[in-house]
Amino acid sequence: MAKNLMFQGTGSSVGKSLLTAAFCRIYSQMGYKVAPFKSQNMALNSYITKNGLEMGRAQVVQAEAAKVEPSVLMNPILLKPSSDKKCQVILKGKVYKNMSAMEYHKFKPELADKVKEIYDELHNKFDVVFLEGAGSPAEINLREHDLVNMGMAEMADSPVILIGDIDKGGVFASLYGTIMLMNEEERKRIKGVIINKFRGDVKILEPGIKMLEDLINIPVLGVIPYSHLEIEDEDSLAERFKKNKNTKGQIEVAVLYLPHVSNFTDLNVFETQEDVNLRYVMRGESIGHPDMLIIPGSKNTIEDLKYLRDAGLEKEIIKLHRQNKIIFGICGGYQMLGKTLKDPHHTESSIPEINGIGLLDIETIFETEKTTTQVEAQVVAPIDYMEKTSIKGYEIHMGRSFLGKDAKVFSNIKVKLGEEVLIEDGAINEDGTVIGTYIHGVFDNIKFTRSILNHIRTKKGLDKLESTIESFQEFKEQEYDKLANIVRENMDMETIDKILNGEL
């Protein structure tokens, strides 16, 4: 029977996902077979497993940290907002249906038994399971039928560590208030508290820690310093979008932040390249004059295309194209770059047909069944500057795109769901300035990405530059180890062990 421990937070963006990943890596390094678990995740950032099932990327990160294969057992419910009022409900990796918030709330009692069954299946396969909550456990209006915080802790009979974010201010009040809003049985589950994202000298904090411990009668087990790590963090996406990482970079890569943007982790690799300034174009901002523009995936391609048009961004995209700047579309972004998008079944929208941006000679038709698959492909685009290398990634989309005479194939898919195939993917225009693909993770191949960046450097009169990292996966492994070291050095690991062993 596996040991378990749950991490809950005083609110969103306090660092639950990263701290869960940290403990997954720490206990994996100690020789345990470790799994993460989050019963319900709400995110547009998803991942496709080897068997073609969909799950939240936060648990994929945690699985990578634990050095185990991601499984939908680690995230049985994924909610993907499709509009302001509705979500697509993904249950055990497959689309169940679209629901409003009220419909889903009424559906929760039916889900409880399913969640418990899935958790037990995972629990029986591992030595240690680290659970993650969502938002705050003190949302007293949602406590009935809770599946993700204290309700899940009860189902798993798990002890709980509560996390507070000091960087936001008010950490003592948020920790104390959260605990005081719980009932007595819930408070008994909390075995320790973590103060996260601290900047400064811990000695200044110590008197406050002592006063907090006296008030709540629960120990503070660690004060984790604010650290900059290149790890996907579901809780800090707003920070990622708002800041420029490398304003001195000689190449500017702009990414359109769409209202229904999804799978934006496709762009994380650019943050590892020292000559790249990655900038997200937020609502109300101009695209400016980047060297390369990326239109990422979208949960609602037609609505996001309308947004680009209404905001005047489509005209800016066409202007960039006339300046021979590289424009790259992934999944929904690829579809938008085509001539027409047709939705005869109203899969995404009430609009049956809409003109695309028109920079690629393709037509997209939305279907009722979602494509979800891992793939391996070979870049075959007949463009001199582009590295003809193999790429690995995954597809997750509702439409199929058909190439016209003026579009060339971008890549050939050689492996799909572990089986050998030969399927054309994506498109590229004649001069190699407009590119589209359905493959998420296309940029994770450093050789491929550097071939595009060095092409841009050559056009700007700059020498080519080699990447300081050979593999994005290798880079991520190093970051997981750094995270584990930071947490281990600033935590009372002896007490954590006792909690896991049921001694406290």
Q: At what angle do helices 472-489 and 16-29 cross, to 10 degrees?
A: 90
Residue 243 has pLDDT above 80, yes or no: no
Paired with 131 in beta bridges are 6, 37
Catalytic residue list: 331, 440
**What does DSSP say about strands 34-37 and 128-132: parallel, antiparallel, or unpaired?**
parallel
Beta bridge partners of 34: 128
Strand 251-256 with 220-225, pairing: unpaired
- Taking CB atoms within 8 Å and a gap of at least 24, the contacts of 175-184 are 175/10, 175/212, 175/216, 176/212, 176/215, 176/216, 177/10, 177/138, 178/10, 178/136, 178/137, 178/138, 179/216, 179/218, 181/138, 181/140, 182/137, 182/138, 182/150
The answer to whether the beta carbons of residues 141 and 180 sit under 8 Å apart is: no
- The pLDDT-based confidence of 106 (bands split at 50, 70, 90) is confident
- 67 Rama class: left (phi>0) / alpha (psi -120 to 50) / beta: left
DSSP annotation of 44: S
Q: Name the pTM for this structure.
A: 0.89
pLDDT, residue 7, reads: 98
Mean per-residue pLDDT for 204-212?
95
Secondary structure string (H, E, C) spanning 204-273: HHHHHHHHHHHHHCCCEEEEEECCCCCCCCHHHHHHHHHCCCCCCCCEEEEEECCCCEECHHHHHHHHHC
165-174 tens-digit pLDDT: 999 899 999 9
pLDDT digits (tens, 9 = 90+) for 406-440: 999 999 999 998 899 999 999 999 999 999 999 99
| Residue 244, C-beta contacts closer than 8 angstroms, at least 6 positions apart | 277, 278, 279
pLDDT band per the 50, 70, 90 thresholds, residue 245: low
Amino acid at 123: H
- Asked if residue 235 has pLDDT above 50, the reply is no
SS3 assignment for 149-171: CHHHHHHHCCCEEEEEEHHHCCH
pLDDT at residue 192, as a whole number: 98
- pLDDT tens digits, residue range 459-471? 999 999 999 888 8
Neighbours of 324 (CB within 10 A): 10
Q: What is the pLDDT of residue 230?
A: 84
Cα 72 to Cα 420: distance, rounded to the nearest angstrom: 24
In Å, how far are 65, 355, 362, 455 from 368, measured between CA atoms? 35, 20, 20, 39
Summarize pLDDT for 48-80 with one digit per residue, the tens: 999 999 999 999 999 999 999 999 999 999 998
